[in-house]
A and B are shown apart, each in its own frame.
Chain A
Amino acid sequence: MIARAEPGVHLGRRSGLGILRATGPAGIGSAIVISAATFLAIFGRLLAPHDPNLGQLAYAYVGPLGGHPLGFDGQGRDVLSRLLAGAGTSMLGPLAVVVISIAVGTLLAVSAAWRRGAYDAVVSSGLDVLFAFPGILLAILAATVFGAGLLAAVLALSVAYTPYVARVLRGAALRERAQQYVAALEVQGASAISICLRHLIPNMLPLIVAQATILFGYAMVDLAAISFLGLGVQPPNADWGVMISENQSGVVQGYPLPALVAGICIVLVVVAFNVLGERLYEQAQPERV
């Protein structure tokens, strides 16, 4: 509430590595898990020891064998290979959701905070309507309209997440807009776009990164849930959510390994994103009001 008279335009900007170090051992551990998952998302398909889609029904739900350390799934496919091949879609989907919703959310938030007035009112009430649609429901609607698939799910979740991003960032943009350096730059004749791009958004960057990190975890859970429902990634494509859905019958039959390892992968990555995001959030706003 109290306007702080901070003269420094770029006060407290630090290097990415410095911020990461400040997140402590839990933050660094999370960053390592995320890096590993990213590596597997890019190279997993190449590292897969077997064809992830080659099914040998004779091996359905057979446990670990030589060369197949995680055994076989319900259709006799190598679980480790499917896990590695699935990392790609499992990570790419959330990444797309985060990139789209952060980009659109930032654009809406900054422009609304800058222009204020009627434009802000229209944007805010438009976002209020979107708040009425939970992400999964929107994804189900999208699957009905466009057919099941990763693309529809990604677009639906991006739309559903945008209002959350925009609300948080709009507040931050309004606070930043009220800073005296912005007025000073305006007086000096800097254009709105240049102030926003060169000062406003860079100053909001720590918060934006923290938001993106936390959203990634949510997006991963929601996308996997949609795939689990059969409305996201379509079999036989490998995906961690799909793997759980395909092998749920194995759990009831007492052979839970394929579903469990996929579940563990999801939980591990989501924990890492949550913990890192939480730490980054604390870093982004050390004096919370």
Chain B
Amino acid sequence: MRLRFLLRRLAMLAGTLLVSSFVIFSALFLAPGNPIAVLSGGRSLPPDAVRILEARYHLNDPFLAQYWLWLKGALHGDLGISIALREDVSTLIASRIGTTAALVLYASLLILLIGIGLGLAAGLRPGLLDTSVLAVTAISAAIPSFVAAIVLILVFSVKVRWFPSLGNGQGVFGTIHHLTLPAVALAISSLAIVARVTRASVREEFRREHVQTAVSRGIPHRQVVMRHVLRNAAIPITTVSGITIASLIAVSAVVERAFSLNGLGAYLVAAATSKDFAVVQGISLVLVTAFVLVNVVVDVLYAVLDPRVDLGARAR
């Protein structure tokens, strides 16, 4: 049963990725404008040169053939050549993916530790702490990453100079040092949302009748909280954490741009501006894959945590 659920979910994942790759490829294929013009930088080329380029990039093949070639390449880790930089897209991605991954991971850790921590504290202890967490998170949930970025840069790198405002940094410590402000900027609104949902879930579980059953049986408060309130609140908390963490993958582009980080997202934006199609396709595919994978992990975790999920049925 469990295995079948997992296989089913993986099949759905493969289907989603296939359709997404098709969408990504065909959207850019249908884009107005001539890739030759991009290749030549706008200059007119002699017909021979055009023909060589067309053959090299399979520009005259039928659409589906081109998609198939691209997909086959992608599965082997070959995402084509950046027309602007004359370099392998895979190599370009490989050199930048580490920054993005580190940034998203760092922000995720902040969300899980601080967001859930604040939410639990507020949910378990009504009073001043609870009220202030509610007020602070109501505002910080509405702070876009780039607004957080300018405020953080202003306070922590212009005024007190604790953290650098730009760049990637070297070594483990340097990287952490350089990524701290970006990670906070990336995490802040998601962190607030996770904290609010955590708090609300804990409160809601406390009101459940089955919690009353446990209390009526003389189970110690601590055990009631651990075994019933928190165990059950873990289901919505996991879901919202997973979804917000997945959303960081795309928003990382904004933060990378704000802090001039050399990551995938910033590169994607640059490629979009210069119409470097192969790069846009490649990075989009990587980001969509990561996004969908995180969502699958959330689905599986949900099924593990909640025995009521019908493992035979479609997830969601």
**Interface hits, B252-270 → A, CB 8 Å:** 253-254, 257-258, 268-269
- The answer on a CB contact under 8 Å between B269 and A230 is yes
A101 to B280, CA, bound (A): 25
SS class of chain B's interface: helix, strand, loop or mixed? helix
Within the complex, the shortest CB–CB distance from B12 to chain A, in Å, comes to 8
- The answer on a CB contact under 8 Å between A251 and B144 is no
Of the candidates A129, A259, A270, which one forms a contact with B142 in the assembled complex, judged by CB atoms under 8 Å apart?
A: A270
- The answer on a CB contact under 8 Å between B254 and A225 is yes
Whether A129 touches B20, Cβ cut-off 8 Å, given contacts A144-B275, A144-B277, A267-B142, is yes
0 or 1 for each of B25-53: is its CB under 8 Å from A? (1 = yes): 00110111000000000000000000000
Residue from the set B24, B204, B272, B275 with the largest chain A CB neighbour count within 10 Å: B272
Query: Which residues on the B side are within 8 Å of A274 (C-beta)?
Result: 138, 141-142
Query: Which residues on the A side are within 8 Å of B287 (C-beta)?
Result: 134, 137
**Interface hits, B97-154 → A, CB 8 Å:** 138-139, 141-147, 150-151, 153-154
Q: Interface size on B (CB < 8 Å)?
A: 54
Within the complex, the shortest CB–CB distance from A209 to chain B, in Å, comes to 19
- The answer on a CB contact under 8 Å between A263 and B150 is yes
Query: Which residues on the A side are within 8 Å of B28 (C-beta)?
Result: 141, 144-145
Query: Which residues on the A side are within 8 Å of B138 (C-beta)?
Result: 271, 274-275
Within the complex, the shortest CB–CB distance from A258 to chain B, in Å, comes to 10
Residue of A nearest to B292 (CB): A132
Query: Which residues on the B side are within 8 Å of A256 (C-beta)?
Result: 150, 154, 158
Query: Which residues on the B side are within 8 Å of A271 (C-beta)?
Result: 138-139, 141-142
Whether A266 touches B280, Cβ cut-off 8 Å, given contacts A129-B23, A140-B272, A259-B150, is no
Of the candidates A135, A141, A267, which one forms a contact with B24 in the assembled complex, judged by CB atoms under 8 Å apart?
A: A141
Query: Which residues on the B side are within 8 Å of A140 (C-beta)?
Result: 253, 268-269, 272, 280, 284
Of the candidates B24, B147, B158, B269, which one forms a contact with A263 in the assembled complex, judged by CB atoms under 8 Å apart?
A: B147
Of the candidates A133, A135, A248, which one forms a contact with B288 in the assembled complex, judged by CB atoms under 8 Å apart?
A: A133
- The answer on a CB contact under 8 Å between A229 and B165 is no
Query: Which residues on the B side are within 8 Å of A61 (C-beta)?
Result: none
SS class of chain A's interface: helix, strand, loop or mixed? helix
Query: Which residues on the A side are within 8 Å of B246 (C-beta)?
Result: 134
Whether A266 touches B144, Cβ cut-off 8 Å, given contacts A128-B316, A144-B277, A230-B273, is yes
- The answer on a CB contact under 8 Å between A141 and B280 is yes
| B16: Cβ under 8 A from any A Cβ | yes
A132 to B296, CA, bound (A): 11
Residue from the set A144, A221, A225, A248 with the largest chain B CB neighbour count within 10 Å: A144
| A72: Cβ under 8 A from any B Cβ | no
Query: Which residues on the B side are within 8 Å of A145 (C-beta)?
Result: 27-28, 30-32
- The answer on a CB contact under 8 Å between A132 and B291 is yes
Query: Which residues on the B side are within 8 Å of A275 (C-beta)?
Result: 138
| B249: Cβ under 8 A from any A Cβ | yes
Residue from the set B146, B273, B288, B292 with the largest chain A CB neighbour count within 10 Å: B146
Within the complex, the shortest CB–CB distance from B271 to chain A, in Å, comes to 8
Whether A137 touches B284, Cβ cut-off 8 Å, given contacts A132-B16, A252-B165, A271-B139, is yes
Supplied contacts A134-B246, A148-B273, 19 more A-B pairs, CB within 8 Å: A134-B247, A134-B251, A134-B291, A136-B250, A136-B254, A140-B268, A140-B269, A144-B277, A145-B30, A145-B31, A224-B146, A225-B144, A228-B146, A228-B254, A231-B273, A252-B153, A260-B150, A263-B144, A274-B141
Enumerate 7 A-B pairs (CB-CB under 8 Å) in ascending A order.
Answer: A129-B23, A134-B246, A135-B250, A137-B250, A144-B31, A146-B32, A217-B142
Chain A positions within 8 Å of B, measured between CB atoms, are: 128-129, 131-137, 140-141, 143-146, 148, 217, 221, 224-225, 228-231, 241, 244-245, 248, 251-252, 254, 256, 259-260, 263, 266-267, 270-271, 274-275, 288
